[in-house]
C-alpha cells in the first residue's frame, strides 16, 4: 500500500482536469475545469477522495475502470467519487455520488425544460459541429436543443441518438422511393449535464445547430 504524509493527506488540493490527471501525496482532490479525463496517475494502493467543480466527461477505459455501470460518466459540479490506484497508472473509480439525487434532478430538469420552452433562458440558435460517432456533452448548465438537417445518399435515411449512453432512439428517419437524395431534419432536447451521440445511416452530409 502507498504511504503518504498525513498532513498533506488531510489538505484538499485543486488540480485542473486534463486527459491524464497526475495525483500526488494529497488524497483530497478538487478537480477544476471541464476537460475530459481519460486516466489518473498516482501512488499505488492509495484511495483518492475527489470532488468535481464542473461538468465534463470521466471516461471509462482500460486504465480507468468505472465500477458503477462500466460507462463514461458526465460529471457535474459537487459530484464526488473515489479513485483507488491499482498501479501508478491504472485505477478503479468507486462510490460515485451525484451532488443532486435523481428525483431532485428530475424536478430541476422539468422546471428547466419549462423555462426553455417558454424562452426564459435567453438562448440563441448557434452553428455547431456534431459528427456521428462522437460523444458530446451539454456543459452549459441549462438544457439545450440539438437540431440537425441531413441529406441522404439514397431514399432511406435513419439517424438515432443516445442520451447518457442509453438505448438509442430515432432522431430523424425517412423511407421513401420518391427522392433519390432526400432531406430531413431532426430535433432533440438535451438535458443539462447529459452526454449525447448520433449514429447515421445513408447520410451524405448534415448541418447542425443548437439552441444554447
Instruction: Please spell the DSSP secondary structure of 86-152, one letter per residue.
Output: SSSS-EEEEEEE-SS-HHHHHHHHHHHHHHHHTTTT---EEEE---TT-EEE--SSS-EEEEEEEEE
Residue 45 has pLDDT above 90, yes or no: yes
The three-state (H, E, C) secondary structure of 84-97, written as one string:
EECCCCCEEEEEEE
Summarize the confidence of residues 81-96 as an average pLDDT: 94
Instruction: Compute the distance between CA of residue 159 and CA of residue 203 in angstroms, rounded to an integer.
Output: 8
The answer to which of 21-25, 38-42, 75-79 has the lowest mean pLDDT is: 75-79
Answer with the residue of higher pLDDT: 73 or 4.
73
What is the mean predicted confidence (pLDDT) over 144-159?
87
pLDDT at 180: 65
Please count the other Cβ atoms lying within 10 Å of the Cβ belonging to residue 200.
19
**Widest CA span of the chain, in angstroms?**
73
Q: What is the pLDDT of residue 52?
A: 92
Identify the residue with better confidence: 186 or 107.
186
Q: How far apart, in whole angstroms, are the C-alpha atoms of residue 143 and residue 165? A: 17
- Neighbouring CB atoms inside 10 A of 127's CB total 8
CA distance 187 to 183: 14
Instruction: For the chain, list the domains and their CATH numbers.
Output: 6-97 (no CATH), 121-211 (2.60.120.40)
Whole-model pTM: value is 0.52
pLDDT at 115: 57
Q: Inform me whether the pLDDT recorded for 1 exceeds 50.
A: no
Q: With 80 as the cut, is the pLDDT of residue 102 above it?
A: no
Amino acid at each position: 500500500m502507498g504511504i503518504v504524509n498525513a498532513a498533506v493527506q488531510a489538505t484538499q488540493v485543486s488540480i485542473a482536469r486534463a486527459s491524464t490527471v497526475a495525483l500526488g501525496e494529497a488524497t483530497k482532490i478538487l478537480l477544476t475545469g471541464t476537460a475530459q479525463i481519460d486516466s489518473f496517475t498516482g501512488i499505488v494502493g492509495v484511495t483518492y477522495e475527489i470532488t468535481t467543480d464542473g461538468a465534463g466527461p470521466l471516461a471509462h477505459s482500460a486504465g480507468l475502470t468505472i465500477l458503477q455501470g462500466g460507462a463514461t460518466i458526465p460529471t457535474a459540479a459537487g459530484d464526488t467519487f473515489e479513485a483507488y490506484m491499482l498501479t501508478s497508472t491504472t485505477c478503479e473509480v468507486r462510490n460515485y455520488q451525484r451532488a443532486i439525487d435523481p428525483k431532485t434532478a428530475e424536478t430541476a430538469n422539468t422546471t428547466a425544460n419549462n423555462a426553455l420552452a417558454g424562452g426564459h433562458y435567453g438562448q440563441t440558435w448557434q452553428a455547431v459541429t456534431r459528427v456521428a460517432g462522437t460523444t458530446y456533452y451539454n456543459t452549459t448548465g441549462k438544457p439545450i436543443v440539438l437540431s440537425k438537417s441531413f441529406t441522404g445518399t439514397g431514399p432511406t435515411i435513419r439517424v438515432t441518438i443516445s442520451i447518457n449512453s442509453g438505448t438509442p432512439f430515432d432522431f430523424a428517419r425517412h423511407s421513401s422511393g420518391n427522392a433519390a437524395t432526400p432531406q430531413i431534419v431532426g430535433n432533440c432536447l438535451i438535458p443539462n449535464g447529459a452526454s449525447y451521440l448520433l449514429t447515421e445511416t445513408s447520410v451524405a452530409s448534415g448541418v447542425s445547430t443548437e439552441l444554447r
